[in-house]
Structures are given as structure tokens and as C-alpha cells.
Amino acid sequence: MTILEARHLAKSYQDSDRRIEVLKDANLLVNKGDLICITGKSGCGKSTLLHMLGLLDNPDQGKVLIEGKEVSSSSKEAPQIRNRDLGFVFQFHYLVEDLTAVENVALPLLIAGHSKSTSLAKAAELLSGFGLEERLNHYSNQLSGGEQQRVSLARALINKPKVVLADEPTGNLDPEKSAEIWETILRLNRELEQAFVVITHDREQARLASITYELEHGVLSPVNP
Ligand SMILES: Nc1ncnc2c1ncn2[C@@H]1O[C@H](COP(=O)(O)OP(=O)(O)O)[C@@H](O)[C@H]1O
Ligand SMILES: [Mg+2]
């Protein structure tokens, strides 16, 4: 089953006196259970692509379909789809600093309309499964980089999204912490068939994916294993 599809995405930016064509004709299919890695040189448009896939920005041309239905980032259903069907992890954790770890993870459930007690209980359970049972009530500045990123991953997963979109989720971590996050991603993919699209410029990590694409000259091409 196709969860997420990008068709013929094109996007350019105006940079003072010239236009940079970042995406030219990017196409992608994400099916249930896929672990897709996207690599590419710095500045090639990986984050731009992820923003389009995540309905955070609109392409100039082309479309994004969620379960076969075209959705625009500016449509009125986009916020609900982002919260319910998509999970996001970024290189920098973007946790809400005034909230504790468990409150951050509970946030997507609260937004979806669940009660506070249910949301906090589910968040605590998920965080405990990630080895953070001792850190539930810590604020992000009291957590290590690896812990912050595990909290971000839990927040991305709490609503059981159809796909998690991750933009260099381990880019800011040392190799040991990076390996921990990767092991968690691989386990969730294997055990729960959780679909992921992960941007990474680490070729070794990309080798672990079921499908790897390289973004170059605005086009995604499969990388031979
Ligand atoms: N909002 C923007 N305005 C102008 N240029 C942008 C904007 N966002 C990204 N760019 C440019 O588009 C190119 C691709 O950026 P990005 O998608 O962040 O690349 P990557 O994530 O692969 O490093 C870069 O040259 C970047 O400077
Ligand atoms: Mg980027």
C-alpha cells in the first residue's frame, strides 16, 4: 500500500539576482514498511524535499499524495494530517523548552484531542520503552543530545503516524548515540512495519535502508546496493 507519494516535484528559490532550481522532477513512493534513505551533497535540496513531503511547504509544481489523495500544505486539512499521519524528527530536536520530556511527547496526542491524563500516560509508556523512564520529568536542557533525540523520536511516533520523516536525525550526535537512534529506527521498522523516510549523508547508515535514493540535480535516483 502506498502511504506517501511525490510526483514531479519542482521547487526553486530566488537568491538575490538568480533563481536556484533546487528540485526539478523529484518522484518518490513510500509504501507501508519501507525504510527509505535519501542521501545527497549538502545544499542539494534534501531538506527542501522533506518539507514538501511533510506538507510544510508547497512545491512550485507537482504534487504530494497521502494514501492516494492529493494534499496541499496550505489546505485546511493539512495541519490535521501533519499531526495525525506524519511524524517529524529534525537534526536539532525542536523540543518545547518549557515542557518536560513527557509533556513534549504527549503534545501531539493533546492536539489530536485526547485527555491530558491519557496523553501523559501513553507518552510515559513510550518514553520508558526508549529507556527514558528516569527522564520523564526533565526539561530538554537537562537531557543529553542523544536523550533529546530519543524524546523527539518518541514525539514523532506517539500518534502512530503512517510515516516518519527524519531530516539528518543523527547529524548532531556522536557515533555511539547515532548508532542507538539508528538501532531504534531499524527495530521500529522491523517490528511495527513503521515506514520511515530518513535523510542522511552517512552512506554506511543508508546501507541499512530497504531503499536508498540519491538526490542530485533536483532528481531522486535509486542507489545500487
Ligand atoms: N527559503 C529559502 N530561500 C532561499 N534559498 C533557500 C531556501 N531554503 C533553501 N534554500 C537553498 O536551496 C538549496 C537547498 O537547500 P536545502 O534543501 O536546505 O539543502 P540540503 O538539505 O540538501 O542541505 C540551498 O542552496 C539553499 O541555500
Ligand atoms: Mg538539510
Show the CA angle centred on residue 83, arms to residues 53 and 160, nearest 5°.
95
- Closest residue by Cα to residue 87 from 184, 160, 28: 160
Q: Quick one: pLDDT at residue 225?
A: 63
Q: Which residues of the chain have pLDDT under 70?
A: 225
Q: Is the CB of 79 under 6 A from ligand 1?
A: no
| Architecture of domain 2-89+153-222 in this structure | 3-Layer(aba) Sandwich (3.40)
pLDDT digits (tens, 9 = 90+) for 160-199: 999 999 999 998 889 998 999 999 999 999 999 999 999 9
Residue 82 CA to ligand 2 center (angstroms) comes to 19
Contact 35, 196 (CB under 8 A): yes
Contact 186, 35 (CB under 8 A): yes
d(CA 160, CA 195): 10
- Closest residue by Cα to residue 120 from 130, 111, 109: 109
* Domain limits, the chain: 2-89+153-222
d(CA 38, CA 221): 9
Q: Is the CB of 46 under 6 A from ligand 1?
A: yes
Residue 43 CA to ligand 1 center (angstroms) comes to 6
Ligand nearest to the Cα of 168, by number: 2
What is the residue with the minimal CA distance to atom 16 of ligand 1? 45
Q: Could you tell me the pTM of the whole model?
A: 0.95
pLDDT digits (tens, 9 = 90+) for 198-222: 999 887 888 888 899 999 999 999 9
